[in-house]
Amino acid sequence: MAKSLFIQVVIDEARCQVGQPCTECVKLCPVNIFVAQGNGIRIMSEAEDECTLCDLCLEACPAEAITIRKLYKEGH
């Protein structure tokens, strides 16, 4: 499992409503960070740093279960 250097995408599993009828983050992500697996969504850690901060997943998630954290300091 690769460790992200720049971006950390977190899914609050308690809030995620996979299959009811949601997999919007999987469908919308332009860099395929999310994958549906079993009863949940998992992050493809090897693709996590590819996040473009487009916020499509944040806007589409009806449960507000996704958080994107920048692991770098802007301007440095």
Residue 75 lies in a domain: no
What pLDDT is attached to residue 37? 84
- CATH number of the domain residue 49 falls in: 3.30.70.20
Structural domain boundaries enclosing 36: 7-70
pLDDT digits (tens, 9 = 90+) for 25-76: 999 999 999 998 877 889 998 899 999 999 999 999 998 999 999 988 765 5
What pLDDT is attached to residue 18? 65
What is the SS3 assignment for 61?
A: coil
Q: Which H helix or E strand runs over 43?
A: strand 40-43
Considering its fold, how many domains does the chain have in total? 1
Q: Do residues 25 and 41 touch, judged by C-beta distance below 8 A?
A: yes
- State the pTM of this model: 0.82
Residue 52 lies in a domain: yes
